[in-house]
Amino acid sequence: MIFKILLDRYFNQQIKRDSVRIEDEEIYLDVRNMLTVLIYILETIYYDVSLRELLLTYGEVLIEWKQFDIIKLILYGEDVL
């Protein structure tokens, strides 16, 4: 899934520009909030993926990369979007 690939590259610091090209669209990355970028991609490019699938993938990758501060912000209602 493109979302997992993008997140893995993001957390592995393999993305060297402030944007990525997905299909024919240039997507500008808001490095403060990758979830907003993923939801934008979901709404504009990948209609066949559900929001639930996206959020599960996001959560799995956050756990895999030990991004516990971000998880805490989401769980305790901080403004992450």
- Return the closest-CA partner of residue 57 out of 30, 39, 77, 44: 39
Q: What is the model's pLDDT at position 52?
A: 94
Q: What is the model's pLDDT at position 31?
A: 55
Per-residue pLDDT 10s for the chain (81 aa) are 788 988 898 888 888 888 888 888 888 876 557 888 899 899 988 889 999 999 999 999 999 999 888 888 878 876 555
Q: What is the model's pLDDT at position 80?
A: 53
Give the dihedral sign, CA 62/58/8/73: negative
pTM of the predicted model, to two decimals? 0.74
The answer for residues whose C-beta is within 8 angstroms of residue 41's C-beta and 6 or more apart is 2, 3, 6, 22, 27
